[in-house]
Structure 1
């Protein structure tokens, strides 16, 4: 049986990067102390601030402070460490990327994904935020190999675009990652439903560590979740900064895919889109 203990780290990150990293380290160590072999952080875990503060807090990958921090801890604690997301700067480019990274227990960077779907949303009587004002769009679907499963990488608003997760599952992903800073306004009605839908339709585990707390633009929803391939929520965080640990069984993914072969029964030959 391919069982592994995984953990979500839920945080209320703010504009003080040093404080955020200190808090993240404490929670990562707590997760490892509970036996987690794979630990996942939320979106923008190292910095949440105003657009005016972004330049000073964006980092190069793999040379930045935060990447080195993650590499050191993954190696010391002998864990797989998923780095939520951070602002990535690129030499010669004006805009940043919202990027996530994955480290193996040797402290090696084994995967990086840049958020494809940016949060450009204006809701009447709700949040208004244009992520693309200062960030550029990612252009690559990423699935990482590990010694226990293939993992698809995504970030927050990506959850509303099922095409991305279907492509990941067709590339062999058995775990779908979604670090998030979901808004309270949409989170109350959509967060759990969307996570369970992506798990059910792709017959994969979904691991979704979230932010809580009041941010410069909106209130974050939190409720970090781990969902199994049947769509059952097997772990949920409460409204606090905390670690949530659950054991997942990757053989269960294959069992579900055999029992309900919806991926095998696809008809891609008739899926072409014709717009008038």
Structure 2
């Protein structure tokens, strides 16, 4: 089975209304639809663009971002139903019991909306935005197979991707937001490592552009990529597709799931099968599903 995926390099720029945000999102959605995408990935924190709607010198604060949650969900739910695509709507900051969480949203073509909170949060998220970490992890069933959504810093922890693979996920979607080369390469290199270790596809993207009046969103360094295991059926560098660095664009690629099953059984290396579970934990026996 093949899956066509698109990943959006979302350009952050100051806006004056939710309608401007909506039109920019629709542009990417329609572009992905024209390419026949079945899954579309938006980046982490792309809805912080809404904070630029303040009066110029005084943008909205992170504590006001959850106030847009229903508008955001209604917008992307409509996109998913209208296009028949699964949309990983980046992440949006929501409030639960007076705590802020950085939450990825999966919008299904039938109108369902599922959530995955970011599990590992950075010092900036804690110290500057007073955010809390998510407490649970799950994979998502779709009519194209099982997927997982791990946000930015999450992908830097190999254990959680082991859990995703043990529960049957073949594709990991990774919305990210990095402000410089160091952060960008941390995420990119670990995406490649996770794809090799678990013989899965990783689809990653990030924000580009700048919000000139929003603290901690002034600088963005991003690039979308569709990453594969490094074995003969795949491109030698493990890159199925890659965007132009820091450009406003999207990429599209076809993921052949049968190739994953092939290399897991008889690849040049069989990293998942060759785990030394007599020495370290066997995630197959320590997670449900």
SS in 2 for 1:178: strand
In the other structure, the counterpart of 2:286 is none
* Structure 2 unaligned regions, length at least 5: 53-58, 231-236, 282-289
Answer yes or no: is 1:47 the counterpart of 2:13: no
Deviations 1:197-244 (Å, cap 9, x if unpaired)?
111111101011210123532522111111123361111111211111
| Separation in structure 2 between the aligned mates of residue 52 and residue 134 of structure 1, nearest angstrom | 16
Residues 89 and 163 of structure 1, relative CA distance in 2, 3 Å threshold: same
SS in 2 for 1:221: coil
| Separation in structure 2 between the aligned mates of residue 55 and residue 96 of structure 1, nearest angstrom | 8
In the other structure, the counterpart of 2:82 is 76
Answer yes or no: is 1:86 the counterpart of 2:92: yes
Would you say the 8 A contact 1:60–1:89 is kept in 2? Answer: no
| Separation in structure 1 between the aligned mates of residue 159 and residue 89 of structure 2, nearest angstrom | 23
Q: How do 1:1-276 and structure 2 match up within 5 A? A: 2-14=1-13, 16=15, 18=18, 19-48=20-49, 49=51, 53-59=61-67, 64-90=70-96, 93-109=97-113, 111-120=114-123, 129-131=124-126, 133-187=129-183, 189-215=185-211, 216-217=215-216, 219-230=219-230, 232-238=238-244, 239-259=246-266, 260-271=269-280
Would you say the 8 A contact 2:156–2:187 is kept in 1? Answer: no
* Deviation of 1:52 (Å): 5.8
| Separation in structure 2 between the aligned mates of residue 24 and residue 13 of structure 1, nearest angstrom | 11
User: Could you tell which deviates more after superposition, 215-224 or 193-202?
Assistant: 215-224
* Deviation of 1:20 (Å): 2.7
Deviations 1:133-171 (Å, cap 9, x if unpaired)?
421110112210111121011101112111111111111
Give me the TM-score of the superposition, normalised by structure 2.
0.82
* Structure 1 unaligned regions, length at least 5: 121-128
